[in-house]
Amino acid sequence: MKSFSFPVILVLILSLSLTIEFVSADGIIIPDPVPGLEKHPDLAIKYHHVNITIIDQYAKTQVDQVFLNELNRELEGTYIFPLPEDASISRFSMYVDGEELAGKILEKDEANKIYENIVRQLKDPAILEYVGRDMFKARVYPIPARKDDVLGEKQISLTYEELVNCDSGVCRYVYPLDTERFSSRPLESVLVTVRLKSDKPIKAVYSPTHEISVKRIDDHNTEVSYEATDVLPEKDFVLYYTLSEKDFGLDLLTYKKDEGKGFFMLLVAPKYGQQTIISKDIVFVIDSSGSMSGEKISQAKDAMEFCVSNLNDGDRFNVVSFNSYVEKFSDEPVLANPENIKDALDFIGGIESNGGTNINEALLEALEMMNDDKNPNMIVFLTDGLPTVGVTEADRILSNVADANTHNTRIFVFGVGYDVNTHLLDQVSGINKGVSEYVEEREDIEVKVSAFYTKIQNPVLSDLGLDFSGITVEDMYPKELPDLFKGSQLTIFGRYSGSGGSLVELTGRVGGDEESSTYEVSFPQKDIENEFIPRLWAMRKIGYLLDEIRLNGEEKEVIDEIIELSIEYGIMTPYTSFLVDVDTYGGEPVRIEETRNLLYDALNSWAFKASTGEDAVQSAENMQK
């Protein structure tokens, strides 16, 4: 899911006169500047505890932190933290007098009004807002002052959910822990616990970053822990674990609590002929305009050299360099033999950066080289700027690309830096069955592009289709199934009606041949074990709707649906916020055990209604600014 670009976060950080380093960290409060205080106030972190549960790739991460205020005055601040891509906040809360106050979902403008009103009354709220792609923030007030020798404490907890990616039976979970190196003093305690549960036997468990303790309960359950005291963590917590592939094929998980529609999650990792690798036609397109000069062009060339050096036997390829003009290694794709690869590497080595950015001509030249409908056709397109030469209007470029793509070519886009036209590039990739990746200024282009190419290097099945017999399914995401690559896994969420056995047929192309596999599954009448599935389904649907807004502009009906899903399933969006509020109807604090019932009362009593289309547009424009 793509959303607002990284400069939104950059403006936030710079406005607080802080270094951009904070953006890459998780869970830090940035205090507002204090009038009369020359030095920007710092907060120490007392402890950082993380509790992670991973069940069949569904990961629920619970974070608990306490921040320390060393000043003799209350502070207000902004709590910011990034999230893994496609993760979603499901709970946000603060603590007052040792008791937890749970957050509620409100329409964003209403939440802001309530927050500002409470701040003026010197009460104790916090608000969590969607900032940008994979980033959230929370306004926190007050952060208690130091009294005598006792430091003021503010405790914050949050929970987010995501799916852990697994390739070829190897799964990787990352928790961004490196923020704590910015604490003004060592942490008293850092504790990370992980509970792994899987239908497939768990094999190796390993952390390359931390010394962990591993307790194996049985083949399907394992507990992992890391604990340290008086430390300043400097690395993210990374955990690898492997699963047995003995029965790797198709897994169906369901949730259905009544006579209505149920939810399902389908995981597919087929082995077609021991995953016979399909030869591909691929064109690498590299931006060599003047803005790519220096380290960027050097890293980009290294990335292209890696891709070309790792082509498979039977692949055909070409390399295109573009600035104001387009330069081609060859007039048409050539076979990936040692001689052609050597010549292509020499061509890449001679690329220099200068001139403007002719995105339209570069894409059209690459598409013109595609003339084989048997093998997968791919373009890997890397650029750091806006179209400045030739056709520069986004609509015309998209139209030209659509007309030229006559051989079902997938276009994978890499945008480098902060000046790229993300709206244009997302549409180029989205309309042409690819994906967009963005490389920040401080990231290594070579590492990111090389890692991505490794995933798409070996296509197994293209032009996928999925058919269910004996059961009615609907509202499935992703709407269009991506190609399968060696070791990859297809994850699908949807709704179903009825119950009973079903045959699931997965079809696709292996080279020029049609292939299919059929799996027997059962959709139960009632299944309440996998209660996380409805929320993950809603996350995917919201992601799809946000993509529709990003690609086609805002429509009131779409915004209304996003807000409705957000409130029903407790998912943060650009149009909703979490609010933590001490007040209730009788002036007593809302305690955690009362939240479930009071939440529904609050939803009815406060102005929980969608913005008008005009208000929503203005809200989005304000966020962008």
Domain ranges of the chain: 257-275+460-526, 281-455
**Element holding 500 (H helix, E strand):** strand 500-510
What percentage of the chain carries pLDDT values higher than 90? 34
41-50, 505-514, 567-576: least confidently modelled range? 505-514
**Is pLDDT at 17 greater than 60 in this prediction?**
no
Q: Domain spanning 281-455: which superfamily?
A: von Willebrand factor, type A domain (3.40.50.410)
Q: How many CA atoms lie within 13 A of 436 on its CB side?
A: 25
**Is pLDDT at 618 greater than 70 in this prediction?**
no
Cα angle: 274, vertex 276, 280; to 5 degrees = 160
89-98, 196-205, 598-607: least confidently modelled range? 598-607
Describe the crossing of helices 613-624 and 556-569 by its angle, rounded to 10 degrees. 80
HEC string of 360-393 equals HHHHHHHHHCCCCCCCCEEEEEEECCCCCCCCCC
Q: Tell me which DSSP letter residue 594 carries.
A: G
Pairing state of beta strands 459-469 and 484-485? antiparallel
Give the pLDDT confidence of 156-180 residue by residue, as tens digits: 999 999 999 887 678 889 998 765 5
What percentage of the chain carries pLDDT values higher than 70? 84
**Is pLDDT at 538 greater than 50 in this prediction?**
yes
Q: Domain 257-275+460-526 - what CATH class?
A: mainly beta
**Is pLDDT at 320 greater than 90 in this prediction?**
yes
53, amino acid identity = T
- DSSP reduced 3-state for 459: strand
Q: Which residues contact 541 (CB under 8 A, 6 or more apart)?
A: 475, 477, 565
Binned at pLDDT 50, 70 and 90, residue 12 comes out as very low
Q: Is the CB of residue 442 less than 8 Å from the CB of residue 9?
A: no
Residue with the larger pLDDT of the pair 325 and 448? 325
Give the pLDDT confidence of 340-362 residue by residue, as tens digits: 999 999 999 999 999 999 999 99
Chain centroid offset of residue 392 CA: 29
Predicted TM-score (pTM) of this structure: 0.70
114-123, 442-451, 609-618: least confidently modelled range? 609-618
Is 333 exposed, middle or buried, given 0-12, 13-18 or 19+ CB atoms closer than 10 A?
Answer: buried
If one counts every other C-beta atom within 10 angstroms of the C-beta of residue 348, the result is: 21
Q: Stretch 446-458: mean pLDDT, rounded?
A: 80
Binned at pLDDT 50, 70 and 90, residue 509 comes out as confident
**Is pLDDT at 624 greater than 50 in this prediction?**
no
Phi-psi region of 475 (alpha: psi -120 to 50; beta: other; left: phi over 0): left
- C-alpha torsion sign, points 23, 29, 33, 38: negative
**Is pLDDT at 65 greater than 70 in this prediction?**
yes
**Most confidently modeled of 159-168, 590-599, 606-615?**
159-168
- Which pLDDT score is estimated for 234? 76
Q: Stretch 485-507: mean pLDDT, rounded?
A: 87
- Which pLDDT score is estimated for 365? 95
Residue with the larger pLDDT of the pair 605 and 408? 408
For 162-219, give the DSSP string. EE-EEETTEEEEEE--GGGGGSSS-BSEEEEEEEEE-SSPEEEEE-SSS--EEEEEET
Q: Report d(CA 408, CA 416) in Å as an integer.
A: 26
**Is pLDDT at 590 greater than 50 in this prediction?**
no
